[in-house]
């Protein structure tokens, strides 16, 4: 009975396995090996450790091209510039780190593909902040080559939208279809271990009913890791960000739907609580007494004169959902998000019967029925 219970304004379940366009076959799988969680081998922190390992021998001889700058403080922009710069030794160090990280990513990917939940996966979208760089794109491309060389028939592609936007745009695919017919935008939230981002997402449904042209109209970013707030303080700041965006959207004349989509780390229960995986968030978000969707619905009870509906899902799932319009040429596909950790989700597209297919099926059924009756009459 609990599985059938609809929560938060009766439009769906938090962390649902059945969404408007796809079935979520799995998400937030925590695979382990002898060294610990596999996700730790393919995170942005893992890349920084690999880069540090390649710098150590050069540092001992006083030839480290990056000087005294800590590896975790060198920006992706700087590393991207080094790749195409004139300093051959510095470029070689970065390329070496990319190769080692690609091997780790390929190893982790193979392990996912060998699980039952990821069987027959045809394409893997790679998102997260690490992807938003040239070095990230090279690592993804190299990992794909390694995986294919091992006999897996799967494509690995960088996520199309900017990773920061993808986590917000994906929230559209949590919403029921009536929202797109009556409204032109929604409020979306993407919560991460370092940042909380809120945005107004335009559906652009009239231009592209498949939501392929959706875009973030306006957004706000708060780096909560710098402020180290309490859980209650984080929610209060989040509510303020949403209210500011709500006011701005109304001032611009947008038809904002009475809906808030949330992408959040961890295993999301149907009632909106978080079972596990939220350890990097400020305070205890895994408490059974804490319910973020309810907190937001209470703080923002109405939007445009209608009761506010809130739906929350795992952040890896939501980021992957932004790719739904572009995954229609395959049946089964997955997403890996490289960030503070390694997010993951596997999807199966739910094919919608076209009118032509439906009419053809009805014609065949009708013809079969007539033939059956004729055959029966002939025997009589």
Higher pLDDT, 235 or 176: 235
Joined together, the tokens standing for residue 46 give 């893992």
Q: What is the mean pLDDT of residues 210-221?
A: 96
Q: Which residues pair with 347 in a beta bridge?
A: 24, 333
**Percent of the chain at pLDDT exceeding 70:** 89
Alpha carbons 143 and 148: distance in angstroms, whole number: 9
Which residue did the predictor score with more confidence, 368 or 259? 259
Instruction: Give the burial string for 93-110 (b: 16+ CB within 10 Å, else e).
Output: bbbebbebbbbbbbbbbb
CA–CA dist 138, 292 (Å, integer):
37
**The tokens 């080692």 sit on which residue?**
100
CB neighbours of residue 283 within 10 Å:
16
pLDDT reading at 159 higher than 70: yes
Q: Is the pLDDT of residue 263 over 60?
A: yes
Q: Are 264 and 274 in contact (CB under 8 A)?
A: yes
Q: Which two tokens stand for residue 21?
A: 């366009």
Q: What is the CA radius of gyration of the chain?
A: 24
Place of tokens 């297919």: 357
Q: Is residue 363 over pLDDT 70? A: no
pLDDT digits 0-9 by tens, 2-56: 343 334 445 789 999 999 999 999 998 888 877 778 888 999 999 999 999 999 9
Instruction: Give the SS3 label for residue 204.
Output: coil
Confidence of residue 1 (pLDDT cuts 50, 70, 90): very low
Query: How much is the mean pLDDT over the chain?
Result: 89
**Per-residue pLDDT tens digits for 270-295:** 999 999 888 889 999 999 999 999 99
3-state class percentages of the chain: helix first, strand second, coil last, to nearest 5: 45, 20, 35
177: three-class secondary structure by DSSP: coil
The pLDDT-based confidence of 322 (bands split at 50, 70, 90) is very high
3-state secondary structure at position 274: strand
Higher pLDDT, 303 or 59: 303
Of 84-93, 197-206, 349-358, the poorest mean pLDDT is in 349-358
**Model confidence band, residue 356 (pLDDT cutoffs 50, 70, 90):** very low
Q: What percent of the chain has pLDDT over 90?
A: 73
pLDDT given for residue 179 in this prediction: 87
What is the pairing mode between strands 215-222 and 196-202? antiparallel
pLDDT of residue 362: 41
Q: Give dist(CA 217, CA 203) in Å, integer.
A: 10
On the question of pLDDT at 81 being above 90, the answer is yes
E-strand stretches of 183-222: 185-191, 196-202, 215-222
Alpha-carbon span 24 to 140, nearest angstrom: 23
By the 8 A CB rule, do 93 and 59 touch?
Answer: no
Phi and psi torsions of 260, nearest 5°: -125, 120
H-helix or E-strand spanning residue 212: none
Give the per-residue pLDDT at 33: 79
The residue with greater pLDDT, 380 or 10, is 10
Range name among 163-167, 174-178, 234-238, 351-355 with the lowest pLDDT average: 351-355
pLDDT of residue 148: 97
106, 147 contact by CB (below 8 A): yes
Torsion angle, CA of 183/245/270/174, rounded to 10 degrees?
40
pLDDT at 352: 60
Confidence class for position 106, pLDDT limits 50, 70, 90: very high
């Amino acid at each position: 009975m609990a599985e059938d219970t609809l929560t938060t304004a009766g439009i769906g379940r938090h962390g649902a396995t059945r969404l408007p366009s796809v079935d979520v076959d799995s998400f937030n799988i925590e695979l382990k090996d002898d060294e610990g969680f596999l996700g730790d081998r393919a995170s942005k922190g893992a890349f920084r450790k690999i880069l540090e390992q390649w710098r150590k021998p050069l540092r001992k001889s006083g030839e480290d091209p990056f000087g005294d700058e800590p590896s975790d403080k060198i920006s992706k922009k700087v590393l991207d510039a080094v790749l195409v710069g004139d300093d051959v030794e510095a470029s070689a160090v970065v390329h070496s780190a990319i190769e080692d990280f690609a091997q780790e990513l390929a190893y982790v990917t193979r392990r996912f593909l060998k699980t039952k939940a990821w069987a027959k996966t045809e394409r893997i979208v790679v998102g997260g902040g690490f992807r938003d760089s040239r070095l990230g794109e090279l690592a993804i491309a190299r990992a794909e080559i390694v995986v294919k060389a091992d006999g897996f028939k799967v494509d690995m592609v960088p996520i199309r939208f900017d990773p920061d936007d993808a986590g917000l745009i994906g929230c559209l695919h949590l919403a029921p279809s009536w929202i797109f017919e009556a409204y032109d935008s929604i409020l979306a939230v993407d919560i991460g271990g370092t940042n909380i981002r809120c945005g107004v997402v335009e559906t652009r449904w009239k231009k592209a009913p498949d939501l392929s042209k959706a875009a973030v109209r306006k957004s706000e970013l708060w780096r909560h890791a710098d402020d180290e707030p309490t859980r209650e303080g984080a929610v209060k700041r989040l509510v303020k960000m949403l209210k500011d965006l709500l006011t701005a959207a109304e001032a611009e004349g947008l038809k904002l739907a009475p809906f808030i989509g949330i992408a959040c780390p961890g295993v999301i229960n149907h009632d909106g609580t978080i079972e596990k995986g939220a350890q990097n968030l400020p305070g205890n978000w895994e408490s059974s007494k804490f319910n973020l969707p309810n907190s937001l619905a209470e703080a923002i009870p109405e939007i445009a004169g209608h009761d506010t509906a809130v739906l929350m899902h795992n952040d890896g799932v939501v980021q992957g959902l932004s790719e739904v319009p572009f995954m229609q040429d395959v049946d089964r596909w997955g997403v890996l998000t490289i960030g503070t950790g390694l997010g993951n989700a596997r999807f199966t597209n739910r094919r919608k019967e076209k009118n032509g297919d439906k009419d053809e099926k009805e014609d065949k059924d009708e013809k079969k029925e007539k033939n059956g009756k004729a055959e029966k009459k002939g025997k009589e």
